[in-house]
Amino acid sequence: MNPFVWRRGKAEKLLSLPVLEECFCACRQLPASMASSKKVVTRDEWERKLRDVKIRKEDMNRLVMNFLVTEGFVDAADKFRIESGTQPDIDLATITDRMEVKKAVQSGNVQEAIEKINDLNPTILDTNPQLYFHLQQQKLIELIRVGKINEALEFAQEELAPRGEENQAFLEEIEKTVALLVFEDVKNCPYGELLDVSQRLKTASEVNAAILTSQSHEKDPKLPSLLKMLIWTQNQLHEKAAYPRISNFSTAALEDPAI
Amino acid sequence: MPAATASGGGARAEEAAASSSSAPSCVGMRPEELAARLAAAGGPGAAAGDGGGAGGEEGEQERVLALREIKNQIIGNRTKKLLYLRLGAVPAVVAALAEPGASPAALVQAAAAAGSFACGVDDGARAVLDAGAAGHLTRLLAHPDEKVVDACARALRMIYQSKQAPKFDVNNEKNMDFLLSLLDSKNENVTELAANIISHSCDSNTEQLALCGAGVPQKLVGLFGGSMNLRDACLDSMTAIIRDNCDVASRFASMDHGKYFRSIVGLIHDRSPRTRLLSCLCLIALGHASPCHFPDRQIKTKLILVLLELIEEPGNVGDEAPLALTTLIKDSVELQKQAFSTNAVVKLSNHLLANSLETRRAVTILFALAELCSKQEESRSQLMSGQVSTLILDALKHDCADIRVAACSCLKNISRSSKVLSAGRISCDTVIAPLVQLLYDSSTSVQIAALGAICNIAVNLTPRKSVLLHSGVVSQLVNLSKSMDPTLRLKSVWALRNIMFLLNPKDKDFILKELTVSTLSSLICDSEHFVQEQTLALVQNLLDGHVDSVNYVIAEDGMVLNAISRQLNSASAPGVCVQGMLVLANMAAGDELNKEAVMDVIVPHQADRIKSSFVVNFLQSKDKQLRVATLWCILNLIYPKCDTSSTRVTRLQNVGVISQVKGMMNDPCLDCKNTRQRLAKEKLGKGALHRDVCREP
């Protein structure tokens, strides 16, 4: 296939990005044999183009607020609200509650977390069997961690076994968790990762997402998606042109185009 | 609040016992104890502060703790809900809602517990309703404390999501005003409750019209600007108001120059997948209820694309999207074509291949694939040529009944295609054997689905019918034709009818020996007319082209013929009469003996008491098929011209049949007219034989 035709197809999807469109036109004028020689956009030219792009301050502020709220930086969000005048799309008090729940799971206090979720909104765990199961499973893991073997066994039988009867996938999870009881050295057994901090974090983030959803809030902040899109776009553009790209996202510094 | 710990288990009882004497604590308490404590804390005894119960502030605090603990134990936990139900905790919980001086804290906990009992457990919902919770919760929506209002609205939402909840009568003016006031609330929990009530209660035409007349659609669309969950609830109730109601749908579509309609169209590209699905469902309902107000092909194409994308979504949305697609393209050749051209078959197949068959999504995708194959030849061959065809065969043997049903309906629709069938991909042992096996399935819906597929496969199997006949299918079909379930009887007879089509005499005998003449006659007199009709069509195919077959009809003192005669004389459903007359027409094409047997059916013998023959009524029928069938029968009776046929003409004349035929010179139906002309000229070839197959819809 002619490489130009193929690229053109790709580029057409991105017609809304003016830079790319121009670049594609430049490409089309090149003969096929010179496909590898890319158009070069100098740093000056690039910065000039960027200067013409308008961004509204309020949009920026909202993105920042969205990030603070979703990630649960409640004090920062409150300060930012006062200083920038940006209204959060959620009651800031609920962030504190959400963060407390998250912290409870992260530190292994699962029962406390369950009660706090129920105080926050009793319909969350009733309508989300998977989350409820994962919390119960986490509770079992915590019992095993502190060596309360008898309690763990009783809990598994009384509370978890009925969930396993309701759902095959849950049953497999229970079996894996209970298997931890068989090993002397639980940390190094096949399912040892269940005792890892990462398991608590996984459960905590599931809880966090469910609470956000119950509050009609998206469970992921928008800033990371925006950065992801930037990386993807840069990669697309890289095939067609040499331009000052950003590689270090903590500084967002423009690099000189490599020719 | 007592500190909660992760410890439960063995020490619970002692801990609870130890703490209950000092500070009020209920955490970790056994359900029996807790239920008893709640019952003691409530009621007039407790309010008076005497006896064993706790009273006053302390009593109230203890009650809050008991309610909160019960709530925390039952939420998400079906087993615990059932346990507390048995212990009679529900009336005590609801009693806390009824208490006049109850603290907001107690009300919040009691409402949450009541809501949870109603969630996911039918008995729980019934108990909550029986205890009168709905009334108390509704009254408390006017409580000054916003937290109480939130809790009550949430609990009522749980209650109205249960099928056990009674319908909210919107035809009652007071109720409607109340509903409107809920929709106007500033509290989103309350407005969402109003939307849930509408979704739950609105299913009749009058209710839909009442809601539309009260301006509810405008209010619902007005709430789209609220939170995501509220918008989804509003979309769902919009669909309930529009569904199958042409009047409401067309009013809504043209409301404010289509502004409201467009706001729903706008949501099919929303960020939230659930909102996209719900807006698609709303538009699909609108399109079905009022096709003329939804002529925009472009939107329908967009709907197909959006739904195909939604299949990629995890959870419930991805599971339901294929069903929405199925509803959208149902019965529309054009939309099925469009779906095919957007690569729907490939996309759905790939998704099926990439995931396990265990899931609900596999079921819904198979149904969508089945619908795509219902009218589109290209879809059928694409599906059969892909890897998915093997998967469909695996699905026939799957443990889950829903998957087996879905796989059968795929095969049923694929085998509507003569091309696919004659290519031999379906008419082979690998497909037929598992299908026949499914006729023995423990689930009736699987049996019915398998019968559907076998019906269609039998149609085009003419050269290879022996594969089917020797698979043991006939004896099981005969068994099913005696089932208590009318659908099973219908479909098994239908399958036999299609197998009988163009079958050689030896195999026809084989079937009849299994079926027996007495079963055949009782099926002709079945309680359901659609079974009668299919059975008569089966007899038609039996008689076609096979002289000796008539013996079955006149065998055992003409048991079958008598049954047919009874049906025709008792003026059964028109379809039954048509099939009955076609059977007689086929018989009348035979020898003298057969013709006379038919004459005995249509002309009563008692010449003195001349009773008009049902044939005269049939010739006057509004049903043109019945008129044609009857004319064919008469034609076959008086052909060829000879002495005996002249006697028959005379007999027919005596009962007024011939004069009736003469009067039909200008019959509006062309078929009738032509047949009558041939009758008049009496210079015809051999009388026509009727045989027919019919595919499963």
A115/B154 CB distance under 8 A: no
User: Given this model, what pLDDT does residue B278 score?
Assistant: 97
Q: What is the mean pLDDT of residues A52-60?
A: 93
User: Given this model, what pLDDT does residue B462 score?
Assistant: 59
From A168-177, B29-38, B70-79, B179-188, the region with the lowest mean pLDDT: B29-38
From A227-236, B74-83, B414-423, the region with the lowest mean pLDDT: B414-423
Is the distance from CB of B564 to CB of B579 less than 8 angstroms? no
ipTM: 0.75
User: Given this model, what pLDDT does residue B76 score?
Assistant: 93
State the fold for domain B1-166: Leucine-rich Repeat Variant (1.25.10)
Residues of B with CB under 8 A from a CB of A: 3-11, 68, 71-72, 75-79, 112, 115-116, 119-120, 151, 154, 157-158, 227-230, 271-272, 358
pLDDT at B602 over 70: yes
pLDDT at B215 over 60: yes
Residues 6+ apart with CB under 8 A from B266: none
Cα separation, B431 vs B437, in Å, equals 10
Same fold, B1-166 and B169-295: yes
Residue located via tokens 């502004």: B259
- The tens digit of pLDDT for each residue in A216-226 reads 888 889 999 99
Distance to chain B for A74, nearest Cα, Å: 21
Q: Is A154 part of the contact surface with chain B (CB cutoff 8 Å)?
A: yes
User: Given this model, what pLDDT does residue A147 score?
Assistant: 86
Cα separation, A129 vs A106, in Å, equals 20
User: Given this model, what pLDDT does residue B443 score?
Assistant: 94
**Superfamily grouping for domain B169-295:** Leucine-rich Repeat Variant (1.25.10.10)
- The tens digit of pLDDT for each residue in A151-200 reads 999 999 988 998 888 888 899 999 889 888 887 777 777 787 888 889 99
Give the closest of A111, A121, A162 to B6, CB-based: A111
- The tens digit of pLDDT for each residue in B456-489 reads 888 865 566 777 787 788 999 999 999 999 999 9
Residue-averaged pLDDT of chain B: 85
Provide the number of CB pairs (under 8 Å) joining chain A to chain B: 88
Distance to chain A for B539, nearest Cα, Å: 50
- Tokens representing A114? 């369950």
User: Given this model, what pLDDT does residue B696 score?
Assistant: 63
Give the closest of A150, A155, A162 to B79, CB-based: A162
Residue located via tokens 């036109």: A25
Pick the closest to residue A127 from B128, B27, B157, B201 (CA basis): B157
B116/A216 CB distance under 8 A: no
From B283-287, B306-310, B633-637, the region with the lowest mean pLDDT: B633-637
Domain ranges of chain B: 1-166, 169-295, 534-681
Q: What percent of chain B has pLDDT over 70?
A: 88
Residues from chain B contacting residue A112 (CB–CB below 8 Å)? 3-6
DSSP A188: G
Q: Which CATH architecture has domain B534-681?
A: Alpha Horseshoe (1.25)
Cα separation, B110 vs B594, in Å, equals 81
Query: Which has more confidence, B186 or B8?
Result: B186
Give the closest of B8, B115, B120 to A151, CB-based: B8
Mutate to test the interface with A, among B25, B65, B77, B157 (most CBs of A within 10 A): B77
Q: What is the mean pLDDT of residues B159-173?
A: 92
Confidence of residue B620 (pLDDT cuts 50, 70, 90): confident
- The tens digit of pLDDT for each residue in B353-370 reads 888 777 789 999 999 999
- The tens digit of pLDDT for each residue in B223-250 reads 998 899 999 999 999 999 999 999 999 9
Rg (CA), chain A: 26
Residues from chain A contacting residue B189 (CB–CB below 8 Å)? none
User: Given this model, what pLDDT does residue A259 score?
Assistant: 62
Cα separation, B336 vs B338, in Å, equals 5
Instruction: Using CA coordinates, name the residue in chain B closest to A151.
Output: B9
pLDDT at A251 over 50: yes
User: Given this model, what pLDDT does residue B683 score?
Assistant: 39
- The tens digit of pLDDT for each residue in A127-137 reads 999 999 999 99
User: Given this model, what pLDDT does residue B695 score?
Assistant: 66
A215/B75 CB distance under 8 A: no
> Phi and psi (nearest 5°) for B437?
-55, -35
CB B634: neighbour CB atoms within 10 A? 28
CB B444: neighbour CB atoms within 10 A? 15
Q: Is A122 part of the contact surface with chain B (CB cutoff 8 Å)?
A: yes
User: Given this model, what pLDDT does residue B154 score?
Assistant: 96
User: Given this model, what pLDDT does residue B295 score?
Assistant: 67
pLDDT at B116 over 80: yes
Q: Is A218 part of the contact surface with chain B (CB cutoff 8 Å)?
A: yes
Residues from chain A contacting residue B72 (CB–CB below 8 Å)? 114-115, 118
Cα–chain center distance at B409: 14
Cα–chain center distance at B368: 15
